[in-house]
Amino acid sequence: MIYLDSCALVKLVSPAPETVALERFLRGRADEHHVASALVRTEVRRALYRVGATARQRSTADKLLDAVITISITDDLLDAAGQLPEPGLRSLDAIHLATALHLGTGLSEFVTYDRRLLAAAKHAGLSTAAPH
């Protein structure tokens, strides 16, 4: 399984300098499922409105989100996120990281373009990627 945070998912819908590299990275791992916290259902849509995405891009995002396996946010995950020791980790990013850690050895890669979240995921022992 490949964990994709909201930053990565937005790049798959709204072109950015990293989009081609991310698409290539995912094509090279086409046999793996994509997984994310249920947070992405709100975060991706809000990010697209912030960047002025077209109706077509928002529709593409809806299809992409439907294809991602989303992990429900439970009290246990919220508690785990609150217990993460990284002081610079923001709350929603902590939920993403706690969700990924919850997946255990089934997770092959954690993909994000957020520097703080990337550093925290590495520190937590996850294999990380930010394809450029």
User: For residue range 94-108, what is the model confidence (pLDDT) as tens digits?
Assistant: 999 999 999 999 999
- pTM, two decimal places: 0.97
Task: Please answer whether residues 4 and 131 qualify as being in contact, where contact means their C-beta atoms are separated by less than 8 angstroms.
Answer: no
pLDDT tens column, 42-64: 999 999 999 999 999 999 999 99
Alpha helices in 12-89 (DSSP H): 19-27, 40-50, 55-67, 75-83
Instruction: Compute the average pLDDT of residues 26-37.
Output: 98
Which of 14, 21, 23 has the alpha carbon at shortest distance from 45? 14
pLDDT of residue 131: 99
Instruction: Give the distance between the most distant pair of CA atoms in the chain.
Output: 40
Structural domains of the chain, with CATH = 2-129 (3.40.50.1010)
Spatial distance between the Cα atoms of 61 and 86, rounded to a whole number of angstroms: 31
